[in-house]
Amino acid sequence: MASITDQILALLIIFLIIFPSSLRSDSVEVYLDNELYQSPNLTVHCQSNTKKDLGTKIMADGTSISWLGDINVPGENEIWSCAMNTGKLNGVFDIFESNRDNTRCGDVCEWMVNEDGIYWYSPPDHNFVFQFSWPH
């Protein structure tokens, strides 16, 4: 007959198999990298649909900003939209969306701003993947 410790351990393992996200943090660290080496500074203003606001940031070439995106907001799909402007390039992009990025990013979701658009870092591919074009 199994001991009470063995039974508790078996129940814990079953729980973690059924609910694997219970081990995961409630947030994802979001990085936005400025790789616009041929352009002036990038002005970025990111805010969420859950009333969080990073304010306006001026990013020099080769710099990054980061923040935490929530993945377990009750009844919400947290979306962080970032308005970006260089003077000649500008647009608004959904950089973090909890329903979209919860499983594909892991604990870190990295984005790169480039002259031809916005790229997301794909952990399985170990590569940046094109996601958004600049509006014309």
**Is 3.30.1050 the CATH classification of the domain at 25-132?**
no
Q: What is the DSSP letter of 39?
A: S
Mean pLDDT of the chain: 86
Q: Tell me what pLDDT residue 72 has.
A: 72
Residue 21 has pLDDT above 50, yes or no: no
DSSP 61-106: TT-EEEEEEES--TT---EEEEEEE-SS-EEEEEEEEHHHHHHHHT
- Segment 11-24 shows an average pLDDT of 49
CB 91 within 8 A of CB 81: no
Neighbours of 81 (CB within 10 A): 15
Between strands 108-114 and 27-34, the pairing is parallel
pTM passes above 0.75: yes
C-alpha pair distances (Å), 105 with each of 99, 100, 114, 122, 125 = 11, 9, 20, 7, 12
